[in-house]
Every structure is written in structure tokens, then in C-alpha cells.
Structure 1
Amino acid sequence: EFLEGNMDIGKKLLRDYINATITFQQLGKELNKSSKSIHRMLGPHGNPRLESILGIIKILQTHEKVKLRAKIVQQAA
């Protein structure tokens, strides 16, 4: 959803994923941020910087032992 430009849905998906896996408290420890700050950042009125989103994704990748990659796909005309 982030890559398609829908920030609100993308933030909600990240919140749900964090709640179901690593928890906001653990993520905050690993990011050196308060869990409250991360909640606000990913909340409906939050406006996270790209650096913050990438930091979250990096930690989630490590936690889940996966590597995310983006691939360019040309759309049909």
C-alpha cells in the first residue's frame, strides 16, 4: 500500500503487523524511540518521515528473518 501511495492504509497495516508480532514496546526499544511516539507516527494523523518507515521495516525484516525487495513492473498500456 505504501508503494501505491495509500499512506493511511499502509500505516494501518504496519500498526496491525507490529501489534501481532514484535509489539510497539519492543520496536520502540530497537528504534530508540518511545512506543507512544511510534503509535503517533503510524496513527491516522501521523506523518512519518521516510527514514522512520525504513527503520521500522528494517527491524521487522530482522525480526521475521525476511528481506523485502521492490521490483519494477511495467504496466500494460
Structure 2
Amino acid sequence: MALTRNFKHTVIERVERDPAFAKALLDEAATLFLNGEAETARLILRDLVNATLGFEQLAQATHKPSKSLHRMLSPQGNPSMDNLAAIFSAVRQRLGVGFEVHAVQAHA
């Protein structure tokens, strides 16, 4: 019989013991959004919210209803840029990190 673990619990436990992992998830979510992979980015961001702030605390930080935030970060979610910026800001503050953008030049 194979042993299985709930993925959400695995992510939460890893984030709690490994701050670098949490930062890497945030970086990956931002990179995916900027590269046009919004659905995957929302799912990673949702898992990160669950592992750090939780949706109730995120609702307080963003002044948005928790249910709305859940919908925004669902696979079919469509958060506005303002809401997305508020979510990233709240998670970034919780993790105590900033963003630094590095441009890559396209070759003609």
C-alpha cells in the first residue's frame, strides 16, 4: 500500500521549516505571472497564502472579502492588477522580502 500525504500539508510544513522555499514559491509565482502563465501562478500563490498568512489574514491585509480572494486565486480566477498587487504585497511583507526585476535582452 502506497503512503500518500496531502499536498497542502506538505507545502505548509515545508514553508514553516524552510523560509527559502517560501521565497522561492513567491518568486516562481511572480515569474509565472510575468511570463503569461497566470493559472499556474495563481495556484502557487494560493498554496503560499495558505502556508503563510491564511485567507482570513490576507482579507484583513487587502481589505477584500476572504471568499473573493479564494475565487481570485482559483484556477479560473481573474484578479485585477490592483488585487493581485495587494496579494503579492501582503505575502511579500509576511515573508519579509522584496522584488528585484532583471531584464533579459531579446536577441533579434
TM-score, normalized by length of structure 1?
0.91
**1:30 maps onto 2:61 in alignment:** yes
Structure 1 residue 53 displacement after superposition: 0.7
Q: Which moved more, 1:54-63 or 1:12-21?
A: 54-63
Compare relative contact order (CA 8 Å, sep 6+) and give the higher one, 1 or 2.
2
Can you list the C-alpha shifts for 1:47-67, whole angstroms capped at 9, x where unaligned? 111111111111111111110
Where do 4+ consecutive residues of structure 1 move more than 6 Å? none
Identical pairs, percent: 38
TM-score by length of 2: 0.66
Aligned-partner Cα distance in 2 for 1:12–1:69: 22
- Supply the AA of the counterpart residue of 1:52: N
Matching residue of 1:60: 91
Q: 2:50 aligns with which of 2, 19, 24?
A: 19
Answer 1 or 2: which has greater helix percent. Answer: 2
2:77 is matched with which residue: 46, 53, 70?
46
* CA drift at 1:76: 5.2
Equivalent pairs counted in the alignment come to 77
Q: Larger radius of gyration, structure 1 or 2?
A: 2
Unaligned runs of 5+ in 1: none
2:50 is matched by which residue type in structure 1? N
Backbone CA RMSD of aligned residues = 1.2
Aligned residue runs from structure 1 range 3-14, under 5 A: 3-14=34-45
AA partner of residue 60 (structure 2): K
SS in 2 for 1:66: coil
